[in-house]
Chains A and B, each alone.
Chain A
Amino acid sequence: MIEPCKLEELLIFTIYRLLDDSKHITSGMASPIPAAAALLAKQLSNEPIRVSVLASQHLHSFTDGSSEVFDLAAQGRIDAFFLSGGQIDGSGNINLVGIGDHANPKVRWSGSFGSAFLYYLVPKVILFRFEHTPRTLVEKVDFISAPGSSAPHVYRRGGPHALLTNRCLFSFDKKRERFCLLSLHQGEDLETVKDQTGFEFDISADLRETPQPDAATLALIRGEVATLLRDPYPTFAETVFGP
């Protein structure tokens, strides 16, 4: 008997479904689930696609130092990337810096990393935040590391495409500059999601349960994808897929 799909595996599969037309997918440092989704996309694609896992020394082919990835993004050579935030708000603004006044914060996080550049320049940015609470999904972020949208004359080819959490999947409506709830993960209900979300959002007319991977896809996640993931993310791989 096959062990049922774990939440992490559902999240990997869900991100994979969002990557359908991307020819070069790049994942950043602390991103095991997005990295797994990108590796799954490479396994399942009918055409050759490139996947660059920056957290691994082996799963990318950059030779011009860590700055090369930003130059590639600036030229439009990266199609999909992943960002997160200590806070994410209903307009798709992300905050990686802290809570309270910048000079005298109540809470401080590591910093904005590449977000204030990549969010503008990578066409498809998927926001992934595991913890879905009013603490993380807020009405308005305290600090905008990178804005969800820009004025029409500001050079920008990229931005938020979707937001995935441990409860549900939202798409981002670029015209309305707000999220739209597409699907709820198994066991979640609309009232709880509304209650646990600090911002207002639209609800899709065909709101449904987030689709689960079929047996063959699940086997691929637990097989080839898990094996590749052990290099950059040994702890995550062992926790989810076992030793």
Chain B
Amino acid sequence: MIDTMRVADVEELAKMIPDGAKIAVLKNQTGVPAELFRAIARNGTKRLHIVGVPTTGYVTDILIGLGAADTVETSAVTLDEIGMAPRFIDAVTHGKINIKDSTCPAIYSGLRAGEKGIPFIPIRGLIGSDIMTVRDDYMIIDNPFAENDPIVVLPAIIPDFALIHVSLVDELGNVYLGTHRDMALMAHASKQCLVTTEAIYEGNLLEDPLMAASTMSSIYVSGIAVVEKGAWPHGLQGLYPADFAHQQYYREQASSEKGFLEYVDEFVYLKSPAIA
């Protein structure tokens, strides 16, 4: 019996995200709720601001290709070993999207400021990088505790929604994260967290000391849906491997506008292929 959490379906979760929302997602293969992103695409949500923590790939490329996102804030958009993200590259080179370039630890640090409720956070590195030129919200200050020590400060990142996929959520809405602690960071910093899960755990994960240390409290969670293979074509740690053949197929299709639209017809809008 679920006490505090009603289990929704994935389309309902997608509808909770309004146009213009700032959504955060972890990098490829680390708990990416790919089916939730396809549901966001089906819902026709617009003007999304995507935060890739600290990088992003397949799911962001699809939303960009559909014109559903107008800003991407991340340190890289990539399909990793498969290659570049084709719709992202096309959108940037045609001026169709605002890319807020960053570097991995700056994304994490911005979220750390978000989870602590502080307005900004200092970070080493970055001085002399052109990231400082293109990011007018990153600034250099003098370390107030030392002489002659310039240091970069950047604003807190507070997404409207952290979107995650996990193997287990318990009946109370507590979320098993395993070693994906970045999920907790991202969820803590965000106003809401929407979770898709492979399964519901019967009981309370926090009562099992072995599980509790790897579990995030339901405090942060505002929506749950059960989606089997919900990370596909990404893998999910310990449960199923990544489907690299499909990711390769995606890259080939998405390298043209026409091929991309065929891809989304089949795998996002779930239309049957036309009968020849």
Contact = CB atoms under 8 A, between A and B. Distances in A.
Interface of A: 29-30, 57, 62-68, 70-71, 74, 96-98, 102-121, 143-147, 150-151, 153-155, 233, 235
Contact of B104 (A98, A107, A117): A117
B180 interface: yes
B92 interface: yes
A150 B128 contact: yes
Contact of B125 (A62, A104, A120): A120
Nearest to A57: B237
Contacts of A29: 80
Given A111-B78, A143-B130, A153-B148, 20 more contacts: A70-B104, A74-B105, A97-B101, A98-B92, A102-B134, A105-B92, A109-B84, A112-B102, A112-B103, A113-B76, A114-B54, A114-B75, A121-B125, A145-B103, A146-B129, A150-B128, A153-B150, A154-B150, A155-B124, A233-B81
Nearest to B132: A116
A112 B179 CA distance: 25
Contacts of B78: 110-111
6 contacts: A65-B180, A68-B181, A110-B55, A116-B125, A117-B125, A146-B125
A66 B105 contact: no
Nearest to B26: A66
Interface string B208-219: 000000000000
B93 A107 contact: yes
B7 interface: no
A113 B105 CA distance: 9
A114 B104 CA distance: 5
A114 B105 contact: yes
A189 to B, nearest CB: 33
A114 B125 CA distance: 10
Q: Would you list the 7 A-B pairs with minimal beta carbon distance, nearest first? A: A111-B76, A65-B181, A65-B182, A116-B103, A70-B105, A117-B125, A110-B78
Contacts of B129: 112, 116, 144-147
B74 interface: yes
B123 interface: yes
Contacts of A108: 88-89, 92-93
A151 B180 CA distance: 37
A106 B75 contact: no
A115 B126 CA distance: 9
B211 to A, nearest CB: 15
Contacts of B134: 102-103
Contact of B179 (A63, A119, A235): A63
B106 interface: yes
Contact of A112 (B30, B76, B80, B150): B76
A64 B181 contact: yes
A151 B128 CA distance: 9
Contacts of A109: 84
Contacts of B77: 110-111
Nearest to B186: A65
B interface, over-half SS: mixed
Given A110-B78, A111-B55, A112-B76, A67 B185 contact: yes
B123 A117 contact: yes
Contact of B130 (A68, A102, A150, A155): A102
Contacts of A65: 179-185
B108 interface: yes
Given A65-B180, A67-B182, A110-B84, A117 B101 contact: no
B149 A153 contact: yes
A182 B101 CA distance: 35
B30 A114 contact: no
Interface string B86-118: 001100110100000111111010000000000
A30 B81 CA distance: 6
Nearest to B94: A104
A116 B179 CA distance: 26
A120 B123 CA distance: 12
A75 B26 CA distance: 24
A118 B104 CA distance: 10
Interface in B171-225: 179-185
A105 B91 CA distance: 11
Contacts of B237: 57
B131 interface: yes
Contacts of B128: 144, 147, 150-151, 154
Contact of B103 (A104, A107, A115): A115
B102 A110 contact: no
Contacts of A97: 101, 130
Contacts of B49: none
Contact of A66 (B54, B84, B106, B131): B54
A105 B93 contact: yes
Nearest to B98: A103
